Amino acid sequence: MAGKLGAATMVKKNYDQQLNIETGPEQNSKPFLNYYPYEPTPYPVLEQLAKNIKLKPSDYVIDYGCGKGRLLFYLNAVFGVNARGIEMDDHLYFLAEKNRLYYLKQRPKSKNQIQFLCMHAEKYIVQPTDNKFYFFNPFSVSIFIKVFNNILESLEQFDREVDLIFYYPSIEYVSYLENRTLFQLTKEIKIEGEFEHDPNERILIYSYERAIMK
């Protein structure tokens, strides 16, 4: 099954308007210890992500610190994936749910594919179907380690291939993955027009494959 829109059909458009959502910067999000302020992934970055990865409608994308849900709506529109956002800020969660209602007015068939949960990331119980995990520096490395351990626990119970996707990757995250885990770097996407000026403008994908771990 192909994506619902396809990345090519979404180029050079006002994405929020096309998706019937509002995911711009937010002034009312609250600061929390070890959790960082809301900042949506830029749409040009999402374009390049979509061009460089292959997602299927059977995939389950989990966005930790999803904010207003931009990444999830975009990937659902392009690939038809299942999408679940984890957001601890109740105000941002409210806005994500509001966006979901407006998004579904145009895409009612996606009703059962998109879900938002208002909770701390480390409290989320990773589901057996979850296989793509997205991070845009949502919290400190101490929280990340707890989240990562939850993913590992799920893999011990339900062995499967998964990808961890990092935009503007934290040095602490990368150091932990490289030195403390068996996950392997399988793809680096340098953001066109940005990486040349800022080497952090990239997407790293770390993968768990059954063959690696056995």
Q: What is the CA radius of gyration of the chain?
A: 16
Check if the beta carbon of residue 49 is closer than 8 Å to that of residue 63.
no
Residue 2, pLDDT score: 34
Closest alpha carbon to 83 in 52, 46, 57: 57
Q: Is the pLDDT of residue 146 over 80?
A: yes
- Both tokens of 145, joined, read 């380690």
pLDDT tier at 177, thresholds 50, 70, 90: very high
Query: Which is more confident, 206 or 212?
Result: 206
d(CA 124, CA 166): 19
CA angle at 50 for the pair 118 and 184, rounded to the nearest 5°: 80
Residues 6+ apart with CB under 8 A from 84: 60, 61, 62, 63, 72, 114, 115, 116, 117, 130
pLDDT computed for residue 3 by the predictor:
43
pLDDT digits (tens, 9 = 90+) for 184-198: 999 999 999 999 999
Coil, strand or helix: which one is 202? strand
Residue 26 pLDDT level (bands cut at 50, 70, 90) = confident
Predicted confidence at residue 6, as pLDDT, reads 52
Report pTM. Answer: 0.92
Q: What does the pLDDT average to over 142-153?
A: 98
At residue 8, the pLDDT reads: 46
Six-digit token pair at 89? 């800020």
Q: Mean pLDDT lowest for which of 18-22, 27-31, 55-59, 173-177?
A: 27-31
Mean pLDDT of the chain: 92
8 Å CB contact between 207 and 183: yes
Average pLDDT over residues 12-28: 88
DSSP 20-73: T------S-PPPBTTBPPP-PPPHHHHHHHHHH----TT-EEEEET-TT-HHHH
